[in-house]
Amino acid sequence: MNRKLKELLGTRMSRDSVQEAVDDADWQDFRESLLGLPTDEKLDLLDSYLRKPGRDDRREVRVSNYLKALKRGGLLHGSNSD
């Protein structure tokens, strides 16, 4: 896992900011496209999603929230995951 993703995994966010960020049809479509993929592919795609042109803080909130879900599911271990 690259440095930016590790950094996001350790980020704390309010419930309201997460709800506002994930309430987006395009994000939900992207998230659903990750289902069934190996974790390393998911991480690569999440990194690419973050690197889209233009700054959008909601992207970081979305990815951070997704990484935390992977961690809760046992697919990532701590903020120092490889």
Indicate the range of 9-13, 44-48, 68-72 predicted with least confidence. 9-13
Q: Is residue 81 in some structural domain? A: no
Range of the domain at 60: 3-72
pLDDT in tens, 27-53: 999 999 999 999 999 999 999 999 999
**pLDDT tens, 17-27?**
999 999 999 99
- In the chain, how many domains are there? 1
Contacts of 59 (CB under 8 A, 6+ apart): 49, 50, 52
Q: Is 41 part of a structural domain of the chain? A: yes
